Every structure is written in C-alpha cells, then in structure tokens.
A = this chain, B = another copy of it.
Amino acid sequence: MTQPLIRRLCIIGVGLIGGSLARALREAGEVGEVIGCGRGEANLQAAVRLGVIDRYVTDPAQAVTGADVVLLAVPLGAMAAVLRVIAPHLEPDAVLTDAGSAKGSVVADVERVYGYIPPHFVPGHPIAGTEQSGVEASFATLFQRRRVILTPLAETSAIAHQLIRRMWEITGAEVVDMGVRHHDAVLAATSHLPHMLAYTLVDTLARLDDRAEIFRYAAGGFRDFTRIASSDPQMWHDICVANRDQLLEMIALFVADLEHLAKSIRADDHDVVLATFQRAKRARDNLYLD
C-alpha cells in the first residue's frame, strides 16, 4: 500500500472549504487522519458525525501537534489570533497553508506573528465558495474544475509549495500561482466588488417603503443576481477589511462607470448606452455559454 500524501491534516475552521477538502482527500485515500479544530463544538461534532474529520480538538495549540499539514480556513479577521496560538506548536517540518479570500492580509499577519515569512507557509485561495457555509454544505467534488490560486513568496520552500499544489490537485482543482497583490486585485474585481453590489442592492431595496411589494415582483433574473447577498456577513466584513484599498479602488471605478451610464441615459445619448450594453453582452457571452 502506498503512503497517503498527508499523514495527518489539521483543519482549523471546519466549514464549507475545510470540510470539502477533507472529504476530497479522504475519498482519494490521500490523507491518513484529519483533525478538526474550531470555535463551535456542535459544528465539530457534526463534522465527526458526517465523517468529514476523524476527531476534533478545541485548543488550536494541541490540534496542530503532530500534523504535517495545517489548513487555516477561518475568517480573515481571525487569522492573526489563530496564528499567534499555533505558531509555537507547529511541528518543525509542518506545512502551513490557508484558504483566505484575500492574500495580502494573511501574509502580513504571518509576518507579524513570526517576525519573518516562514518557508513552510504557502498562502492559498480555492475559488470555489458558494453562498452556503458550514460543514453540512461541504462535498467532495466542490473543487473539481475550480481554480485554486497559490501565492508563494520568495521565502516559500519549493517542497512546501509542491505539497500544497499536489493537495489541491487531488481534489480536481486547477492550481495556479500568482503574486499576492495581483491576486488581491483580480479578486477585488471579480468577487469582492460583485458581493458589495449584491449586498447593497438588496439592502437598498429592503429599505424602500414598499419593500414587501417590491420584492414580490422581482423577476427570475433577480434571484440569480442577488444569490451572493446570502453569503456569510462576517466573512465578507473581514474580506472588506483585509482587501480594503483594492476593493475601494474597484468600487470607485464602478461608481464612475455607473454614473457615466446614468449621465448618458439622462442626456439621451443613445449611442453610449447601447454601446455599453453591447460591449458588456459580448464580454459576458464570450465568458460563458450558459
């Protein structure tokens, strides 16, 4: 029998992402033991019951002991606190990775806690969330044909990088490397900005006088358009803090474009309005065949 890729995996934050990774690695027979850790004991008990983890430990310092890979899958705002607790207890050859939606803030947290960038740290981001959260929503095929972005640093060891790449490839993901700032710019545009638009739209409408009436007549497109507004508020609050500058830049760019469109509608500038919609439709149609 061959050895699994990972002997003991410790997942801190056993939710949709951590749970789905554990399921995929277990199905592939590429993990010996999965230790869960997190704040909610009921959630950890559910994870054991669902067969996602073998057992759980509520103290992160204990949880990482003996693990050869540690995945941080907690909200971005909790990364620093968890890092401070686990750093002194990681095995010398353990590889540390994360699943945060912004990478600059996690790298800064690691550097603050360690005083340097440890070679065994591989920042990562599986682009595979849904608006669901929690271990009950996890499934083994979540990452299939999805992209996982790794943002290794100059200090990152090639062996650690290779191990985390292999780990995600086993789940069926396409793994790509990217610079930290570039990752955060791309995600600000394609994920963080759209979430702000969806949250704001639903909130704007919900605060109108005749909200019940308004929502009653929302068409089919509205359901899809606002789906991401059902995402976890705490997680998205943390993303706003973590990727603030690049997100604010994208919001400003979007507002300028939307106001330009509004100005063109007000001025009956038919060509600009039509050309904007045509460009957008072409770009969207080129992306997806739906």
Interface positions of A (Cβ within 8 A of B): 127-131, 146-147, 149, 186-187, 189-191, 193-208, 210-211, 213-234, 236-237, 240-241, 244, 247-248, 251-255, 257-259, 261-262, 265-266, 268, 270, 273-274, 276-281, 283-285, 287-288, 290
Using known A-B contacts A130-B220, A194-B225, A199-B277, determine if residue A283 contacts B237 with beta carbons closer than 8 Å.
no
Q: List 10 A-B contacts (CB under 8 A).
A: A127-B219, A186-B214, A186-B217, A190-B215, A191-B221, A201-B254, A226-B284, A230-B285, A252-B262, A255-B255
Using known A-B contacts A225-B224, A233-B277, determine if residue A214 contacts B196 with beta carbons closer than 8 Å.
no
User: Once bound together, how far apart are the Cα atoms of A189 and B213, in whole Å?
Assistant: 11
Using known A-B contacts A189-B214, A270-B241, determine if residue A219 contacts B131 with beta carbons closer than 8 Å.
no
User: Once bound together, how far apart are the Cα atoms of A206 and B281, in whole Å?
Assistant: 10
Using known A-B contacts A241-B268, A262-B251, determine if residue A221 contacts B194 with beta carbons closer than 8 Å.
yes
Distance of A252 from chain B, by nearest CB (Å): 7
Distance of A6 from chain B, by nearest CB (Å): 26
B265 pairs with A203, CB closer than 8 A? no
A190 pairs with B218, CB closer than 8 A? yes
Contacts of A270 in B (CB 8 A): 237, 241
Instruction: Select from chain B the residue with minimum beta-carbon distance to A262.
Output: B251
User: Once bound together, how far apart are the Cα atoms of A268 and B196, in whole Å?
Assistant: 15
Q: Give the 4 A-B CB pairs with smallest separation, nearest first.
A: A233-B277, A206-B283, A202-B280, A224-B224
Distance of A176 from chain B, by nearest CB (Å): 8
Best-surrounded residue of A215, A244, A283 (most CB of chain B within 10 A)? A283
User: Once bound together, how far apart are the Cα atoms of A232 and B93, in whole Å?
Assistant: 57
User: Once bound together, how far apart are the Cα atoms of A190 and B203, in whole Å?
Assistant: 12
Distance of A282 from chain B, by nearest CB (Å): 8
A203 pairs with B257, CB closer than 8 A? yes
Contacts of A202 in B (CB 8 A): 280, 283-284
Contacts of A216 in B (CB 8 A): 147
A200 pairs with B280, CB closer than 8 A? yes
Contacts of A226 in B (CB 8 A): 194, 284, 287
B230 pairs with A227, CB closer than 8 A? no
A230 pairs with B281, CB closer than 8 A? yes
Contacts of A207 in B (CB 8 A): 279
